[in-house]
Amino acid sequence: MKIQESAENYLETILILKQRNGAVRSIDIANELDFSKPSVSVAMKNLRENGYIHMDADGYITLTEKGREIAEMIYERHTLISSWLVTLGVEKKTAIEDACRIEHVISAESFEAIKSHVQTQK
């Protein structure tokens, strides 16, 4: 289930905006990511065609089961890795930026090992 990093970022953003605002449209994503509306429209078309999102007639976007699974996985990685880095003494802004890069390339095995370690440290 490997998709491009940009697609993972869009799915994660849709999940976050849905939790924050209750509804998501392309303009919300463009504003959140500071991307152009045409760029977001192209990305949404690709995500829809690949079965990651649904878009209704009014332009509201929802994640499909497949899209939600990826978004939740990326979001979990991001939140856990960024908090772990902060715990290790990394400045919060740097930790968030680094987590955003790491979340896309870390293997499931390595992430689970970090997750297990973090949970035993609590």
Per-residue pLDDT at 1: 47
Give pTM, 2 decimals. 0.89
Domain boundaries, the chain: 5-69, 72-121
Report the alpha-carbon distance of residue 26 to residue 60 in Å, rounded. 8
Q: Which of 76, 81, 73, 74 is nearest to 97 (CA)?
A: 81
Q: Which of 52, 49, 51, 50 is nearest to 13 (CA)?
A: 52
Report the alpha-carbon distance of residue 64 to residue 92 in Å, rounded. 32
Q: Mean per-residue pLDDT for 42-63?
A: 97
CATH fold of 72-121? Diphtheria Toxin Repressor; domain 2 (1.10.60)
Report the alpha-carbon distance of residue 39 to residue 36 in Å, rounded. 5
Report the alpha-carbon distance of residue 59 to residue 102 in Å, rounded. 32
Q: Which residues are 53's β-sheet partners? A: 63
Asked if residues 61 and 54 have their Cβ atoms less than 8 Å apart, the reply is: yes
pLDDT one-digit tens code per residue, 54-75: 999 999 999 999 999 999 999 9
pLDDT(82) > 70: yes
What is the rounded average pLDDT for all residues in the chain? 94
Asked if residues 117 and 109 have their Cβ atoms less than 8 Å apart, the reply is: no
What CATH class has 5-69? mainly alpha
